[in-house]
Amino acid sequence: MVTHAIPAEAPGGPACSGQQLADHVTTLRQPATSAPRPFLHPVRSLAGATVTEAGPADHPHHLGLSVAFSDINGTNFWGGSTFTAATGPMLLANHGRQLPLGWQSFESETGRTEEGRVSWRSESDNELAVEQRRIERFVHPGAGSWGLSLTSVIFPAAGVERLLVSSSAVKGRAGAGYGGIFWRFPRGTGDPQILSAAGSGADAAHGSMSPWLSVTMQTAGGPVSVVLAQDPGLLRPWFIRAEGYLGAGPAVAWADAASVDHSNPLRLSLHAVIHDGPVPTAARALDLLHHHPRTSRPGTSDRTP
């Protein structure tokens, strides 16, 4: 298992400042308490700005762009403490790991694709779930922009009848429904600008069913933005935090646990446009997403639960 670089060369085109757009890290060298798993980091803009964070001091188990859940059948695949209704967060010996298997990559007319299987293994190394995951990188016609998609289908492993995907919120910690595809951002040099169909700011986006979410960060080289979108048929509430750290992702178990069986797999998707420059308005965010090949033009209606 190695680190795979996703190159910046557009098919048939020149390299972009000699930069690699993203590294897919599959070495699983994290401590057990970080729930070792494959992840993307660093993810970079075309100008070279890093838009992910991995292993930060505040949450060392946050690993760039990854798929993580705090509780699947009692196993912690998120890392760090486990929230318990009786005693709150506790560091337990219940951390699992995700083992990537059979990964391959290929080029297409629109970009580069990596795909393979992931074996989700419990703290006792029993296989709980099997996943088919795909990471796609796309050329984007907008100046200073490129596209990224992560899609996933998760089934119970053979001999496992059902997966119960839970979260700290389900167990009683208000607002902590995190779990799914999660993007940990770097902090930047000032307050981020966060936009969604629900309005401006993290408070408006948190828990909303906005089809999209935009995060603009200020870096030493200027503003850089990541515009995220969900598939319209798979909308989930956004978990987003901007105080203490900056991170976001669609929440699978926002208020209730999700039940997964062999005839009802868990489907995940997240699409992104990484853009050198600010995204000051919803119209600008939607324009960038309009040119991403995996997103139709998301609506601006909001269905906050």
Q: Is 239 exposed, middle or buried (0-12, 13-18, 19+ CB in 10 A)?
A: buried
Contact 248, 228 (CB under 8 A): yes
Contact 176, 170 (CB under 8 A): no
**Domain residue spans in the chain?**
3-134+151-187+229-269
According to the model, what pLDDT value does residue 20 have?
84
Q: pLDDT tens for residues 59-87?
A: 999 999 999 999 999 999 999 999 998 88
According to the model, what pLDDT value does residue 284 have?
98
According to the model, what pLDDT value does residue 2 have?
45
According to the model, what pLDDT value does residue 36 have?
98
Q: Does an H or E element contain 220, and which?
A: none
Report the pLDDT averaged over residues 171-181.
Answer: 96
According to the model, what pLDDT value does residue 108 have?
78
Q: Please check the confidence at residue 305 and state whether its pLDDT lies above 90.
A: no
Q: How confident is the model at residue 297 (pLDDT cuts 50, 70, 90)?
A: low
Q: Is 120 helix (H, G, I), strand (E, B) or coil?
A: strand
According to the model, what pLDDT value does residue 19 have?
58
Report the pLDDT averaged over residues 36-40.
Answer: 98
Give the residue carrying structure tokens 């196993």: 75
Give the residue carrying structure tokens 């797999």: 265
Contact 227, 275 (CB under 8 A): yes
7 or 219: which carries more pLDDT confidence?
219
Q: Does an H or E element contain 282, and which?
A: helix 282-290
Q: Which residues pair with 148 in a beta bridge?
A: 137, 272
Report the pLDDT averaged over residues 119-138.
Answer: 97
Q: Please check the confidence at residue 16 and state whether its pLDDT lies above 50.
A: no
**Spatial separation of the C-alpha atoms in residues 11 and 16, rounded to whole Å:** 12
Q: pLDDT tens for residues 250-286?
A: 999 999 999 999 999 999 999 999 999 999 999 999 9
**Spatial separation of the C-alpha atoms in residues 155 and 281, rounded to whole Å:** 39
According to the model, what pLDDT value does residue 249 have?
98
Q: pLDDT tens for residues 46-64?
A: 999 999 999 999 999 999 9
The token pair that represents 294 in the structure block: 């995996």
Q: Average pLDDT over the chain, rounded to whole?
A: 91
According to the model, what pLDDT value does residue 150 have?
98
